[in-house]
Chain A
Amino acid sequence: MSKRWYGLALGCVLVCALVVSLAVGHPRLRVADTVPAPGALLSESPKEVKLVFSVEPGGLIPDQSLFWVVRQGPDEVVAVGRVDLTVADRNVMRAELKERLVPGVYLVKWVAISLQDKGFAEGSYSFAVR
């Protein structure tokens, strides 16, 4: 009986290890470090948009990892973010907002690709300026 349980536990561990190994190369957005935070309602325009990712050593591919800040309604791109080359881990994307964002809802659409295994990840979130 105990051998059966040991076998089951070992199987679970192996499946978990397989899932983790498949997903490990894909960048993941660190929501807690993202500015503005997803769902934020801001009283004034932010000065920059910063996305931070969990990614394996080597970081993100600079030329292919991008994000777009899109004003909803006219669907106008107000800024494009790129990998911050001053960050050694290459896990931060940043866009400086040179002009004030007018009140409205903004979509941040991101694509992140890891350098080590070219794992592709994408996502989006919204924030608002009132």
Chain B
Amino acid sequence: MRFVRALSITVSVLTVSTIVGLLLGNPFVFGHAKFVKSNIENGKVYRVSELPDRLELTFEGELTPRSHVYVFTVSGTLLVDKGDVKIEKEHGHGDAHGKSKLSVALNKEKLTSGLYQVRWIAVDSDHNAFVEGGFVFAVRD
């Protein structure tokens, strides 16, 4: 009798947590990679010396090599990254799915004063789910 009660409670908790996860759009339920952060901030104005050598984007979930990131000028749309896209896995404590880092080196010689756009495409390893996004930043003299 005690076993049946414990089982019913467990099933109820799992059901409720799954429904809550679905309602909240939990990325692990749907299997889509989720953008978390970037080492270059959306909308921020930088001097070239303040910019990192590599743009690094962090995602929840594991990415496949089908993922890519581009950095290009808003005016003239010319590429200013070096194209050496890397995908690295990061496993945190208690996080079974872990995080992924998508990065590319910046071609700083081409980063003159102006507006730049970052465009990323993330394909996760669980379901090959496609997510894209982007942001802009500026460089001043």
Contact = CB atoms under 8 A, between A and B. Distances in A.
Contact of A74 (B70, B79, B129, B132): B129
Interface string B73-85: 0001111100100
Given A63-B83, A76-B127, A111-B70, A118 B132 contact: no
Contacts of A78: 128
B119 interface: yes
Contact of B128 (A76, A117, A121, A122): A76
Question: At the interface, is chain A mostly helix, strand, loop or mixed?
Answer: strand
Contacts, number: 55
Contact of B129 (A22, A76, A113, A121): A76
A74 B26 CA distance: 15
A111 B68 contact: yes
A77 B78 contact: no
Nearest to A121: B77
Size bin of chain B's contact surface? 20 to 34
B129 to A, nearest CB: 6
B68 A120 contact: no
A74 B77 contact: no
Interface string A13-55: 0000000001001100000000000000000000000000000
Contacts of B130: 68, 70, 75-77, 109
Contact of A77 (B70, B79, B119, B129): B129
Given A68-B130, A70-B130, A120-B72, A80 B66 contact: yes
B123 interface: yes
A120 B129 contact: no
A68 B123 CA distance: 10
Interface of B: 32, 66, 68, 70, 72, 76-80, 83, 119, 121, 123, 127-132
8 contacts: A25-B78, A64-B79, A76-B130, A78-B128, A111-B121, A118-B80, A121-B77, A122-B119
